[in-house]
Chains A and B, each alone.
Chain A
Amino acid sequence: MDQLNDIEKAALDALASVVTEEALQAWKTAQLGRSSPLMQVFAGLGKLSKEERPAVGSAANRVKVAIEAALAARETEIKAAALAKSLEEDALDVTLPGRTVNVGRLHPSTQQLRRVLDILKEMGFQVYTSREVETDEMNFQMLNFPLHHPARDMQDSFYVESEGRGDNPILMRTHTSPGQIRAMREYAATNPQNPPPIRIALPGMCFRYEQITSRSEMQFNQVEGLAVGEGITFADLKGTLSDFARRMFGQNARTRFRADHFPFTEPSAEMDVECFVCGGKGCSVCKRSGWLEILGCGMVHPVVLQNGGYDPKRYSGFAWGMGPERQLMLRYKIDDIRYFWGNDVRFLEQF
């Protein structure tokens, strides 16, 4: 009996200094292996007397269970310690930068054009594109800018060299409006007696003879809208453009209309949207006024309708024009318009 107590004590004492998986295996062999003192006790049971055997046997079993329990407990401890160690060793510097992938982007102007056109398409305005180099006739005369008219001062043009064209020189379009004439004529040609209604959006690059500075560019995008039909009113214009403004600038965007002048619309107006930066309180973006000038609009001038093949006594319509780059400048607080065609990727990759 004392021998068994000694075996147990010796085993547990030895276990105290075991800290590795290997040492634990060695200890297990030493304490529970075939030649271990405990197993020797079991092996010697047969030699004991019948009287002694049960007591020694049960005592040996108790010691075996105790040693095995200690083994299991230590095994768990050692595994946990090993795992903790390996987790610690595997730790990363999570502040190192992540691995990037090469991301492609659309030019910000393309992105803005899409925002605008997506809304207009949902409102039933279809995209109509036309050429960038135009005749004076299409760019001005058909749009009620007569030759030598003061209204032409508002849009200085780049001319393309040509000869013998008289009062119809070739020029870079100053607005997408010649597309209005082209579209109306195309639509009207399908049924000259009863031309169909029109709702189109005209996006594209336009050109004005202006020095390139932080505030003015010789080239810029424009999106115009045109609706022509029987019974389209100025009230419809206001409703449609306010709808557009809510889609574009937020559900609570307020609008206001001021009378203005454009040769190809009459009456004409300017639409302001409440400044979305300051909510109308006044800030540097809206120049303290609380309002942002967003677009010019008006009822299509009867001369323009006529030139497009629509009888102004029967048809009416409205048109408006706006600048995606200007919208971007307001939206992202871009203070230099030259960024747009500068093609510096450090600018482009911010969108």
Chain B
Amino acid sequence: MKLPISWLKDFVDLDGLSVEDIARTFTFGGLEVEEIHYAGLPMPKDAASNEFKTSGIGWDRDKIVVAEIREVKPHPNADRLTLLDLFDGTQEQVVLTGAPNIFHLKGTGKLAKPIKVAYAKEGSTIYDGHADGLVLTTLKRAKIRGVDSYSMVCSEKELGISEEHEGIILLDDDAPVGMALVDYIGDAVLEVKINPNMARNANVYGLARELAAMTGRDLRSLPDFGGLKGGAGNFAEIEIVDPQLNPRFVLGLIRDVEIKPSPYWVQRRLRLAGVRPISNIVDATNYAMLELGEPLHAFDYDVLNERAGKKQVKIITRAAQDGEKLTTLDNVERTLSSMNVLVCDEKGPLSIAGVMGGAESEVYDASKEILEAKAIEPKEGEPTMGKINMRGKSTTNVLLEGAAWNFINIRRTAKQHNLPSEASFRFSRGVHPALAEMGVRRGLQLMAEWSGGKIEAGLVDNYPLPPKESVVEISTRDVKRILGIELSAQEIASLLERLEFKCEIRETIIDTRKSKNELSNIEHRISVTAPPYRLDIGEGVVGVADLMEEVARIFGVERIPETRLADPLPPQVGNPAFEWDERVRDILVRLGLQEVVSYRMTSPEREGRLAAHNEYARIANPITPDRNVLRRSLLASALEAAEKNVRAESLELFEIGPIFEPVKNDLPRELPRLAIVLTGLRAATSWDVKDSPALDFFDLKGRIELLLAGLRFVDVTYAPTESVAYLHPGKAAEVKVNGQVVGVFGELHPLTKEKYELGARPVLAAEFNIETLRALSPAYGIVPVAEFPPVYEDIAIIVDESVAASRVEGLIRQTGGRSVSDVRLFDVYRDEKIGANKKSLAYSLTYQAADKTMTDAEAAAIRNKIVKRLEHEVSAKLRS
């Protein structure tokens, strides 16, 4: 909501408050000021360190003044330019201009009625009207086509009021010549963010009410509507089919309206508020809406009469039928559905209620068609004015509608037809029905003032469903219990009364035995009635919370003290699963791996490179087609991360996070996984490391061994596996902990690797189910540190290729029992001398006795036993 300070001033005395004070008050009160646009009023001295985002300019009070044009003369050397005889309050000046909106007065001699303009003298700083965007310029003396030019009459763009640069500003006739322009129309506009709970304040009067309440000032009452309060009008009938959709509908009539531009001050205010002035009638509906918050709709009464066959005009409101059609005033034929509400007469639909009028019944003025054609297209998602056509006649009779609508229908309708507008913005957030009548009266009053029309006595008002009056009981105890501040009932009531709540204080006796903290058995309860502009105060406990918000805001959130929690600390239980994942992260980081975090959303095509899945949890409204499902493989995510870093010499990445297994029409299963990807060089190339070998299977396996050891798992076994399609069948292993499969790892299958851009070196990948890991018991106890010297011995044995190293090591350990404390494979060797399909495995054995020094003879005896066992079990031969 764009709030011009000058308009705010109509309702609150702003003396002693700077623009920034006002903005700060709003911001702390829950109406955040997102930007201040200065249109004349002085900008704060050090704009660079202002606490608000700012734009615009302040006008130099000595240099920019109200002046009057006394004669428009031709320029001696240029047809398009004119020379103005102008009086600035002290001196006569000659000013050069090309403004089209006074060009028609060229050469007509002394003007009978001088024209009031905004005049910038030599040395003033204004915006360059011809530049794209906003570029500041300072007026200097120059010769233009042989005539001296040193000052100018300004357009709105040049003064930072709006983008308008079609002509110069033509001030209203009563503008005082010589007055500093800033004193006459200097302004600033606050861009106030209207949160859903503040919908009632999307208007000048609402914001004025808030400011008055928060600063303890008086709120001026609304303009007197004069003699408009007459009884029921008889110029139309209203039938409301469903009061739930349309709780109230009010019509007023004004006759013999002359359609013409509004006074300049009105146009200026509308533009500052972000609304394009169109004509006095349309401007009056917009002005009343911006001021009071009630969107109004103007019908051409003569058209309705015509449609009614000169009989009584009858307005009917009802839900649309599915498939019903209406051409709206933007000349789009719209197909309606039953959630849309229509305003109709007996011949058919006239407008989509609360959203947009129909083309046929709009107030129309042919002379305005040009303006209409130039209507600026609204930016996407931004509320805009409903555009209104005018049908040319010298005078018109206008039927003015103010109504209340079900906000859900309006909201869905505006979304369905993609018609955001100032009206639907307000109606879709709820407008109190009381405002319908007030809005119509204000609209009629403004139309009469600006168009010379005559208001028909009385209104037609159909009000079948007044909102339930909202009455909430609160107590001083509630304020203490929720806000933590001690306020008396009177203090609370006076805070609420500033927002027009009605408060009634009662004393009640309470049972102090039930609550230990009460000092007195008298409790002050306040019965609070919500004012007739609010729909947002709930019932019961919700109402209490709604009122606590108001008390806190008006008291001042900043003034509430800071205290420490006194409530008992709950039992501390931790989060073992979360802590477990964190521990896995820590170990992997210690092992030199970098954590990555990927998008949960991917596409079957992306993941299909690794493994194809048919079933996915699919995103119904993906933001891009390549993020249209929830991932089923964490390894696929990690591989994509590796792919992004393909130029890195070496990558060691891991990710921990959920994958999503779809469940038809229900929440997917979220399964935690760990993925590891290694690729590149084992050691970084540097001035003394030239040809580092590439990371391979055993680099990954070593890290997995250390990870599982770090988690204190000792019963860990590795077995070859060919069941993982994306892994090299000869370089893949399955990991079991305590006999349970927890993960697989290996080198990426060449065919899989081909689908990724991952360079030439092997890519090692692992995928673990850390949920399974979490559930397994780690080792209890430690391995004692031996006290007596061991005996070390190396043995090499020759076995068939098909014998797994793990089997050999297992046999050694089993046979050696407790006497062999360590078995380390230090060489694997293949050679013709050993024989085809044979390999030599060299082990370094540590023989250790727990209670004495191991002798060579004892060690030899154990070794012989081991060798015999190996010969027997795997046909091993000891290599000499």
Contact = CB atoms under 8 A, between A and B. Distances in A.
A236 B563 contact: yes
A160 B481 CA distance: 41
Interface string B206-228: 00000000000000000000000
Nearest to B642: A343
Nearest to A288: B49
Interface in B127-165: none
B600 A219 contact: yes
A258 B30 contact: yes
A261 B197 contact: yes
B560 A235 contact: yes
A288 B48 contact: yes
Nearest to A261: B195
B592 A103 contact: yes
B620 A242 contact: no
A290 B641 CA distance: 38
B543 to A, nearest CB: 9
A327 interface: no
A128 B593 contact: no
A293 B839 CA distance: 67
B411 interface: yes
B776 interface: no
B371 interface: no
B567 A257 contact: no
A132 B600 contact: yes
Contacts of A212: 623
A331 interface: no
Given A104-B592, A106-B585, A233-B482, A151 B644 contact: no
Contacts of B397: none
A266 B546 contact: yes
Given A205-B600, A231-B567, A235-B483, A290 B51 contact: yes
B621 A159 contact: yes
Nearest to B425: A150
Interface in A325-351: 340-346, 348-349
Contact of B578 (A129, A218, A239): A129
A101 B596 CA distance: 20
B418 interface: no
A219 B624 CA distance: 14
B687 interface: yes
A231 B566 contact: yes
A131 interface: yes
Contacts of B666: 162, 170
A104 B485 CA distance: 50
Contacts of A133: 617, 630, 660, 667-668, 670
A236 B484 contact: yes
Nearest to A160: B617
B408 A148 contact: yes
Contact of B567 (A150, A230, A263, A345): A230
B575 A219 contact: no
A97 B687 CA distance: 8
Interface in A116-162: 124, 126-129, 131-135, 148-151, 153-154, 158-162
Contact of A159 (B620, B667, B684): B620
B713 interface: no
B465 interface: no
A124 B572 contact: yes
B564 interface: yes
A316 interface: yes
A254 to B, nearest CB: 11
Given A151-B196, A158-B619, A229-B567, A131 B408 contact: no
25 contacts: A102-B650, A107-B596, A124-B570, A133-B660, A150-B199, A150-B411, A160-B620, A162-B664, A197-B568, A199-B569, A219-B599, A219-B601, A230-B567, A233-B481, A234-B483, A234-B560, A235-B485, A235-B563, A239-B561, A266-B549, A270-B32, A288-B48, A289-B51, A341-B597, A348-B596
* Closest CB pairs A-B (n = 3): A235-B484, A233-B484, A259-B30
Interface of B: 27-30, 32, 48-53, 195-199, 407-408, 411-412, 428-429, 480-485, 541-542, 544-546, 548-549, 552-553, 557-558, 560-575, 577-579, 582, 585, 588-601, 617-623, 627, 630, 640-641, 644-645, 648, 650-653, 657-658, 660, 664-668, 670, 684, 686-688
